[in-house]
Amino acid sequence: MISIQFTRKQSTIVSVELSGHADSGPYGYDIVCAAVSALTIGTVNSLIALADISLDIQANNEEGGFLTFKLPEKLTEKQMEQAQLLLDSLYLSLSSTEEEYGEHMAITNINNQ
């Protein structure tokens, strides 16, 4: 199962962590893993290229699949607006995927105030 954790400060998403594998199909044919990977990597790439944000990224695909990324503490107002739009979109897309394939993935929200 893929575990996805969104960490928020109030309603602002500040980090995302993914771990595990969906195991919804054979390697190379796992559509849940492919969807989660495409959505997440696309968001990370957009945060970097479109919003010009330097993320703190850690990844390890060899031991159960792992990716975490965190926004830096100091962002311009424009960067923060762009980041939240992209991260809200990621949350919405992953939530829709979870509705269909919830036996292979789970999303949790943590609020750090």
Per-residue tens of pLDDT for the chain, all 113 residues: 999 999 999 899 999 999 998 888 888 889 999 999 999 999 999 999 999 999 999 998 776 689 999 999 999 999 999 999 999 999 999 999 999 999 999 999 999 86
Using DSSP's 3-state secondary structure scheme, residue 19 falls into strand
Catalytic residue among 19, 21, 68, 93: 21
Taken in order 99, 103, 104, 106, the sign of the CA dihedral is positive
| Residue in 13, 18, 32, 33 annotated catalytic | 33
Query: Residue 63 has what pLDDT?
Result: 64
Domain regions of the chain by residue span = 2-111
Told to judge if 33 belongs to the known catalytic residues of this protein, a careful annotator would answer yes
- Token pair 């809200």: residue: 88
Q: Please tell me the predicted confidence (pLDDT) of residue 64.
A: 66
Strand, coil or helix: 43: helix
Domain range 2-111, its CATH number among 3.40.50.20, 3.40.50.720, 3.30.70.1490, 1.10.101.10:
3.30.70.1490
Q: What integer pLDDT is reported at residue 55 of this predicted model?
A: 96
User: Residue 13 forms beta bridges with which residues?
Assistant: 8
- Supply the pTM of this predicted model: 0.93
Q: What is the bridge-based pairing of β-strands 2-9 and 12-19?
A: antiparallel
